Amino acid sequence: MLLPQLTGGPASLADLEAMGDEGAAWPLLDGEGNVYGLYVIESLQTTSSLFFDNGTARRIEFSLVLKRIDDDAVDQLGTPPMAMEAT
């Protein structure tokens, strides 16, 4: 869940969508930096609710379908969306 006024929002979801569209592998990490392997984003679904007066969502729920790939398949790693914008 994202609460755009506090954490993330449409830009964060756009990055996830771009990562999924690339079809590349991404490391799955937790907030402490633990790595859980390499995954491909197979799908992303979002639902917005609790709207501000201007129609923007105060709450965005999302779900990802991930597919784990071989941790040694570093040739399948993606380019982060922010790095693509810098080029």
DSSP per-residue string spanning 2-45: BBTTTB--HHHHHHHHHHHHHT-EEEEE-TT--EEEEEEEEEEE
User: What mean pLDDT is predicted for residues 34-50?
Assistant: 90
Note the pLDDT tens digit of each residue in 27-37.
999 999 998 99
Classify strands 25-29 and 57-69 as parallel, antiparallel or unpaired: unpaired
pLDDT class for 83, splitting at 50, 70, 90? low
Predicted pLDDT at 30: 92
User: What mean pLDDT is predicted for residues 41-54?
Assistant: 89
Predicted pLDDT at 67: 94
**Domain ranges, ordered by start, for the chain:** 10-78
Reported pTM: 0.71
Question: Is the pLDDT confidence value at 82 over 70?
Answer: no
